[in-house]
Amino acid sequence: MSAPPAASERPPAPAKPPRRPGDVVFSGLSTASAFSILLILAGVAIFLISKALPVFGADPAEVTGGEGFLSYVWPLVFGTLVASLIAMLVATPVAVGIALFVSHYAPKRLGTAVGFVIDLLAAVPSVVFGMWGFQVFAPKLVPLFGWLEEHLGFLPFFESASRTGRTLLTASLVLAVMILPIVTSVSREVFLQTPRLHEEAALALGATQWEMIRTAVLPFGRPGVIGGTMLGLGRALGETMAVAIILSPGVFTWNLIDTGNTTVPAEIALNFPEAAGLRLSELIAAGLVLFGITLAVNLAARAVVERRAEFSGAN
Amino acid sequence: MSKRIDVKNLDIYYGDFHAVKSVSMTIEPRSVTAFIGPSGCGKSTVLRTLNRMHEVIPGAHVTGEVLMDDRNLYAKETDPVDVRRQVGMVFQRPNPFPTMSIRENVLAGVSLNSKRLSKSAADELLEQSLRGANLWTEVKDRLDRPGAGLSGGQQQRLCIARAIAVQPEVILMDEPCSALDPISTLAIEDLINELKSDYTVVIVTHNMQQAARVSDRTGFFNLEATGMPGELVEMDDTPKIFSNPSKKATEDYISGRFG
Ligand SMILES: Nc1ncnc2c1ncn2[C@@H]1O[C@H](COP(=O)(O)OP(=O)(O)OP(=O)(O)O)[C@@H](O)[C@H]1O
Ligand SMILES: [Mg+2]
């Protein structure tokens, strides 16, 4: 601690550039926002963990199912993962196809119109998807399930078909429709950003339109498509209403086309209102597990994107 | 492996805009032809009509003929993809595919155009193309590194290697050295000199010394006023254009008395 320099003295050697008031205010505000999000996140985590703790210490016999938390939670996790994965596998190729159509094949007007409709789809609330899936889509799927049972019934996934269509596969397909807009619009954005120079490089080598897309557009857009898919997967993993309405829940089964299985969010939504004590802890712990899964999925996606960062062209 | 190009009464448009007026010229095989002229006079535009890259731009079209050894590139039955396989192109800014390694970049065109190559055939073509572009010794130890990690001059030579790997008849270059330092520029000029023993080369350049150094024939393009279409003023042997051009506009331009 030295005395403040006299007014006439020059400031010490590496003079800091003057800080303007606007900068000070804005950097203060943005720093505060950044810290508040961390605080909120920490608060949520602490809440989840502290409320979930009792279940881990509890007597296994007292947990729902009577065999401890792990055996309670894994079928839920299985249902969640299977539904989300099917949704992702179905939605991604369709989304990439639509995005390519809009960005590279369609005449400008038509492309814009299709893009607009897809964006509208994103604005439909999930309850509406749930009701539609329950009322319209599920009954329509019943014949398909019958066909699957008949021809692929030797696989454990298609052993016996439901009469109502309210199955995990139905929920997965509705989830696919729900995540389609986000995957599509992210993919479309990155495809549109493909540098003209690279597209022309491919064309000048004698690439057809599709070959140009394969050599220039898709590799360039790959990280974006992965990012969009992960956003969609995140939405599918956490989707509550649609699944809760469509699926008629039940115990674990490999069979995807009959009643049975459920997902973590649906389980929580359906049981939370009446839950208390240990049951409440169970549900919260299940939520914590879902939180962990989502985090892991996102980290994995990042790793995939960064593994070939050198080749990304972002330089 | 090199062809003669005859351009006949070619008019070039961007939508309604008439960019270049009635060009007729002959480009000799196994020679280097340079296009010079002030900015905006349509050099790049003309160059891009020679491999039908012009029409990639929405609304762009041409009237007239471009004959390559008597085959009209603009005939109805001609597939532009075929044309581009025979007429390679190197752009003003180096544009290796960023997601590909050096090796994949060189072989990009081949893997599009043809059946699968065996590993040894691919290796051979890779080395031959990189040697052809004077890049082999610099990159032979890092063929699997990203092409975008090379220096600008090396990237441009990589693009040349990529263009010659498909064994075209003609190579078009649009100001291939404008983004490069003098040493890389020299390397590319040497390369152009070697390329002309196998290919027909057409190069656009703003650098008149460069045109004088590398080309056998030079075409001078000009435009009378902004908004007017550009035109080919004259085309002749390079020494003649630079010492004794037949048009006044050419002389003004090369002696720096332009505009
Ligand atoms: N994509 C395009 N759309 C519309 N007009 C264009 C386009 N590209 C070029 N033009 C116009 O065509 C004319 C010729 O352009 P071009 O790029 O061929 O000139 P250039 O001689 O290559 O110029 P430079 O030496 O600056 O590269 C110019 O008037 C230009 O504005
Ligand atoms: Mg140009």
Those residues of chain A whose CB sits closer than 8 Å to some CB in chain B are 195, 197-198, 200-208, 211, 215-216, 219-220, 222, 308, 310-315
Position A53 pLDDT exceeds 50: yes
What's the pLDDT tens digit per position in B51-103? Answer: 999 999 999 999 999 999 889 999 999 999 999 999 999 999 999 999 899 99
Query: How does residue A1 score in pLDDT terms, banded at 50, 70 and 90?
Result: very low
Mean per-residue pLDDT, A246-275: 86
Res A309: pLDDT: 63
The answer to whether the CB atoms of A208 and B81 lie below 8 A apart is: yes
Give pLDDT, residue B10.
95
The nearest alpha carbon in chain B to A107 belongs to B58
Interface contact A222-B88, CB threshold 8 A: no
**Domain for residue A3, yes or no?**
no
| Helices of type H across chain B | 43-49, 80-86, 102-113, 119-132, 136-139, 152-165, 182-195, 208-214, 238-243, 248-254
Q: Whose CA is nearest to atom 11 of ligand 1?
A: B19
Identify the residue whose tokens are 């190559």: B117
State how far the Cα of B47 lies from the Cα of B39, in Å rounded to an integer.
14
pTM over 0.90: no
- Domains in chain B, ordered, with CATH? 5-254 (3.40.50.300)
Q: Is residue A17 part of a domain?
A: no
pLDDT at B120 over 60: yes
CB contact under 8 Å between B163 and A205, yes or no, is: yes
Q: Whose CA is nearest to atom 24 of ligand 1?
A: B39
Q: What pLDDT digit, counting tens, does each position of A157-188 carry?
A: 888 878 888 889 999 999 999 999 999 999 99
Of the listed ranges A40-44, A300-304, B85-89, B117-121, the least confidently predicted one is A300-304
Ligand nearest to the CA of B174: 2
- Asked whether the beta carbons of residue B99 and residue A315 sit closer than 8 angstroms, the reply is no
Of B84, B96, B101, the CB nearest to A204: B84
When mean pLDDT is compared over A12-26, A57-71, A269-283, the highest value belongs to A269-283
Does the beta carbon of B33 lie inside 6 Å of ligand 1? no
Ligand 1 pocket member B57 (CB < 6 A): yes
CATH of the domain at A297: 1.10.3720.10
Residue among B51, B146, B162 minimizing CB distance to A310? B146
Note the pLDDT tens digit of each residue in B181-222: 888 888 889 989 988 998 999 999 999 999 999 999 999 999
Q: Which of A198, A203, A206 sits opposite B113 (nearest CB)?
A: A206
CA of B43 to the centre of ligand 2 (A): 6
Q: Give me the mean pLDDT over the B171-176 stretch.
A: 94
Q: Select the residue of A198, A204, A308 nearest B97 (Cβ to Cβ).
A: A198
B88/A205 Cβ within 8 A: yes
State the average pLDDT for chain A.
87
Residue B116 has pLDDT above 90, yes or no: no
Place of tokens 């109805």: B76
Model confidence at A8: pLDDT above 60: no
Does A15 reside within a domain?
Answer: no
Report residue A149's pLDDT band, with 50, 70 and 90 as the boundaries.
Answer: confident
Residue B56 beta carbon below 6 angstroms from any ligand 1 atom: no
Q: Range with the lowest mean pLDDT among A12-26, B12-26, B158-172, B234-248? A: A12-26
Whether residue A310 is predicted with pLDDT greater than 80 in this model: the reply is no
| Amino acid at position B169, single letter | E
pLDDT at B123 over 60: yes
| Domain membership of residue A34 as a residue range | 24-307
Position A70 in a domain: yes
Of all protein residues, the one whose alpha carbon is nearest to atom 12 of ligand 1 is B19
Chain-wide mean pLDDT for chain B? 91
Q: Is residue A10 part of a domain?
A: no
For residue A11, being part of any structural domain is answered with no
pLDDT at residue A251, rounded to an integer: 82
Residue B147, both tokens: 């092409």
Question: Does the pLDDT at position A315 exceed 70?
Answer: no
Q: Residue type at A82?
A: V
pLDDT digits (tens, 9 = 90+) for A26-43: 999 999 999 999 999 899
Mapped onto helix, strand or coil, the DSSP state of residue B259 is: coil
Using a CB-CB cut-off of 8 Å, the residues of chain A touching B89 are 204
Q: For the CA atoms of chain B, what is the radius of gyration?
A: 18
Residues A202-229 pLDDT 10s: 999 999 999 999 999 999 999 889 989 9
Structure confidence at residue B259 (pLDDT): 43
B226 C-beta closer than 6 A to ligand 1: no
Is the CB of B39 inside a 6 Å radius of any atom of ligand 1?
yes
Choose between B145 and A65: higher pLDDT: B145
ipTM comes to: 0.91
Contacts of residue A203 in chain B, CB cutoff 8 Å? 53, 56, 84
Q: Is the pLDDT confidence value at A11 over 60?
A: no
Structural domain includes residue A7: no
Closest alpha carbon within chain B to A309: B99
Find the B47 Cα to ligand 1 centroid distance in Å. 11
A312: in domain:
no
Please write down the HEC assignment for all residues of chain A: CCCCCCCCCCCCCCCCCCCCHHHHHHHHHHHHHHHHHHHHHHHHHHHHHHHHHHHHHCCHHHCCCCCCHHHHHHHHHHHHHHHHHHHHHHHHHHHHHHHHHHHHHCCHHHHHHHHHHHHHHHCCCHHHHHHHHHHHHHHHHHHHHHHHHHHHCCCHHHCCCCCCCCCHHHHHHHHHHHHHHHHHHHHHHHHHCCCHHHHHHHHHCCCCHHHHHHHHHHHHHHHHHHHHHHHHHHHHHHCCHHHHHHCCCCCCCCCCCCCCCCCHHHHHHHHHHHCCHHHHHHHHHHHHHHHHHHHHHHHHHHHHHHHCHHHCCCC
Strand B230-237 and strand B71-72: pairing?
unpaired
Number of domains in chain A: 1
- Mean pLDDT over A137-150 rounds to 90
- Chain A interface mutation, best of B45, B86, B91, B97, highest count of A Cβ atoms under 10 Å: B97
Q: Nearest ligand to the C-alpha of residue A200?
A: 1
